[in-house]
Amino acid sequence: MVATATATRELDAWDPPGEAQRALKQALLAFLDARPDDACDRSCAPGHLTASALLVDATGEHTLLTLHPRVGRWIQLGGHCEPGDESLRAAALREATEESGMSGLEIGEHPLHVDVHAVTCSGGVPTRHLDVRYLVRAPAGAQPVISDESLDLRWWPVDALPADSDTVATMVAAAPAPVRP
């Protein structure tokens, strides 16, 4: 499982763009400090850190989104930290690989974006996801394979995202060119 100290180092090393992202970074760091034993564990009912990926194709012109079965909307790939994850970055890459069915993915060194949102996890208890998001690139020609974690997977042009795709457009805007339209 991702250790609190590791997650703290990952966030400390990140220089977020803009006041809102800096404020959220500080909120996540305060949460990690307050919950040293379980901040990255889904059993932490007040909330827990999660890791996700803005997965783009080799050209940076499309992003792979999942039609999430529980959420019912097109969202980025990602999820909970698992026992074998050494870092948030490793968790994001594992989730992107598992949910896309693609190998050879490359992940950025630092987070791209953070977000906090209300969610009801599989245990049925309302909580918060403190989501740390990374930019992940697929190799040229990579084709996704739908897993049991998705109703559908689809490449979307970064300048024509579905209306119900939550904060994907915000992540695209935070990404370096050529990911931005």
DSSP the chain: ---HHHHHHHHHT---SHHHHHHHHHHHHHHHHH-TTTTTSTT-TT-EEEEEEEEE-TTSSEEEEEE-TTT-SEE-EEEE--TT--SHHHHHHHHHHHHH---S-EE-SS-SEEEEEEEE-TTS-EEEEEEEEEEEEPPTT------TT-SEEEEEETTS--TT-TTHHHHHHHSPTTS--
Amino acid 180: pLDDT: 52
- For residue range 146-180, list pLDDT tens digits in order: 988 899 999 999 999 998 886 899 999 999 877 75
Confidence of residue 120 (pLDDT cuts 50, 70, 90): confident
Domains delineated in the chain: 4-174 (3.90.79.10)
